[in-house]
C-alpha cells in the first residue's frame, strides 16, 4: 500500500480448510484494517481473544494485532487498509474506534453488526472507494478521505460509549498523543520521563493526567503495553522467550522473566502453555 492515498480495498475470501492470505501474518505497523464480512460465519481469533462473527459483521484491527479467521462456511467480504495519517484526518470518531481512552496501554477490537440500513450505506461507501481507486478522478485523495470518514462515523454510531469515557479538552489531546507514542515506542522507551519529554510536559503532569482519566499511572500503561506485545509474540510457539525479550528491548533475560511475572500474574512458560492449549481447542 503506498502513494498519496495510503488506502486500499481488496476482496476478503476464506472457506473451511483454506486460510485467507493475510490471516497468519502480523499486521503491518503501517496500517489499520476494517474487515467487512458480507456473507458467511466464522470464529475470529484476535491476539488471545475469540469471537464468533456472521453475516454483515465488521471488525476493526489496529497495527500489531494478530488475527486468524476460522470459517465455518464460505466467507466473503472486503478488507480496507489505511495509514495512521488517514486515521488522524478522519476525526475523533475514527480514533476512538481503534483506541480505548480507558485503556491506553492496549489496542481494542471492535466488532459491529450492521443492520439493514447500514448494510446499504457501507456497501455504497466501499464501492465508492473501489471506483475512486480504479480511476484517475480529480481530487481522488480528498474523495477517499471523505468516504473513509463517513464510514467511521457510521460505525461509531453503533458503539455505545459510557459517560466515564467522555474525556474532553487538553486532557483528551494529551492522552491520545500518549497512547500513540506508547504504541509506537514501547520497545525503546520504558520510562515516563522519556514520554513526557517527547510530549513537552513534565513527568508529573503527564502522570497526573493519565491517572486522573484512566485510574492508572502512566508507567502502568507502559508496562502493560509491553506485556501485551509479549503475549502476542508468544502465540508463535517457535519464538523463544529470549528472542521476545530482545525484541522488546530487554537484554537481561532474567529481568524480563521477572518483569513478565510481576505485571501479568503468571510466569511466561505457564502463560504460553495455557495459551496454546486454548488455541488448540
Give the tens place of pLDDT for each residue, 85-98: 888 777 777 777 88
d(CA 75, CA 54): 9
Give the H/E segment covering residue 36: strand 31-39
- Looking at residue 95, its pLDDT comes to 75
- Looking at residue 17, its pLDDT comes to 66
φ/ψ of 34, rounded to 5, equals -120, 120
For each of the chain's 281 residues, which pLDDT tens digit applies? 555 458 999 999 888 765 554 444 445 456 899 999 999 999 888 887 888 999 999 999 888 787 888 899 999 999 999 988 888 777 777 777 887 665 555 556 788 999 999 999 999 999 999 999 998 888 898 999 999 999 999 998 887 765 445 566 788 889 888 988 998 899 999 999 999 999 999 999 999 999 988 888 999 999 989 998 898 888 887 889 999 999 999 999 999 999 999 999 999 999 988 887 766 65
Residue-wise pLDDT tens digits, 196-230: 999 999 999 999 999 988 888 999 999 989 998 89
3-state secondary structure of 20: coil
User: Angle at Cα 61 formed by Cα 11 and Cα 123, nearest 5°?
Assistant: 40
Does the model's pTM come out above 0.75? no
- Looking at residue 21, its pLDDT comes to 47
Helix then strand then coil, % of the chain, to nearest 5? 50, 20, 30
Going along the chain from its start, the domains and CATH numbers come out as 7-156 (2.60.120.280), 169-279 (1.10.10.60)
CA torsion 211-213-219-221 (nearest 10°) is: 150
Tell me the CA distances in angstroms from 115 to 38, 56, 152, one per residue in order.
12, 8, 15
Burial of 254 (0-12, 13-18, 19+ CB in 10 A): exposed
Going by C-beta distance under 8 Å and a sequence separation of 6 or more, which residues neighbour residue 87? 32, 94, 95, 98
Q: DSSP alpha helices (H): ranges in 15-165?
A: 84-88, 92-98, 116-133, 140-156
Measured from the Cβ of residue 60, the count of other Cβ atoms closer than 10 Å reads 22
Query: Do 34 and 22 meet the contact criterion of CB atoms below 8 Å apart?
Result: no
Give exposure, 180-219, as e/b (b: 16+ Cβ within 10 Å).
bbbbebbeebbebeebbeebebebeebbebbeebbebebb
Give the H/E segment covering residue 206: helix 203-214
Cα dihedral sign for 231, 233, 235, 240? negative
CA torsion 168-225-184-278 (nearest 10°) is: -120
Going by C-beta distance under 8 Å and a sequence separation of 6 or more, which residues neighbour residue 53? 37, 41, 42, 43, 44, 59, 111
Amino acid at each position: 500500500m503506498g502513494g498519496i492515498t495510503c488506502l486500499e480495498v481488496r476482496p476478503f475470501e476464506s472457506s473451511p480448510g483454506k486460510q485467507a492470505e493475510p490471516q497468519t501474518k502480523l499486521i503491518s505497523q503501517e496500517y489499520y484494517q476494517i474487515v467487512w464480512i458480507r456473507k458467511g460465519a466464522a470464529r475470529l481469533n484476535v491476539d488471545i481473544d475469540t469471537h464468533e462473527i456472521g453475516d454483515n459483521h465488521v471488525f476493526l484491527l489496529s497495527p500489531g494485532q494478530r488475527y486468524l479467521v476460522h470459517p465455518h462456511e464460505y466467507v466473503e467480504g472486503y478488507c480496507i487498509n489505511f495509514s495512521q495519517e488517514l486515521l488522524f484526518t478522519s476525526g475523533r470518531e475514527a480514533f476512538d474506534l481503534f483506541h480505548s481512552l480507558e485503556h491506553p496501554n492496549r489496542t481494542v477490537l471492535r466488532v459491529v453488526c450492521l443492520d439493514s440500513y447500514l448494510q446499504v450505506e457501507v456497501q455504497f461507501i466501499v464501492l465508492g472507494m473501489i471506483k475512486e481507486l480504479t480511476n484517475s478522478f480529480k481530487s481522488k485523495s480528498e474523495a477517499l478521505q471523505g468516504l473513509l470518514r463517513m464510514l467511521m462515523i457510521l460505525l461509531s454510531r453503533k458503539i455505545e460509549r459510557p459517560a466515564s469515557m467522555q474525556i474532553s479538552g487538553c486532557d483528551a489531546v494529551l492522552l491520545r498523543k500518549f497512547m500513540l507514542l506508547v504504541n509506537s515506542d514501547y520497545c525503546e522507551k520504558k520510562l515516563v520521563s522519556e514520554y513526557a519529554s517527547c510530549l513537552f510536559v513534565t513527568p508529573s503532569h503527564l502522570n497526573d493526567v493519565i491517572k486522573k482519566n484512566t485510574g492508572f499511572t502512566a508507567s502502568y500503561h507502559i508496562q502493560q503495553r509491553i506485556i501485551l506485545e509479549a503475549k502476542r509474540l508468544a502465540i508463535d510457539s517457535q519464538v523463544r522467550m529470549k528472542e521476545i525479550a530482545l525484541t522488546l528491548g530487554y537484554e537481561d533475560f532474567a529481568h524480563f522473566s521477572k518483569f513478565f511475572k510481576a505485571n501479568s500474574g503468571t510466569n511466561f512458560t505457564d502463560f504460553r502453555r495455557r495459551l496454546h492449549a486454548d488455541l488448540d481447542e
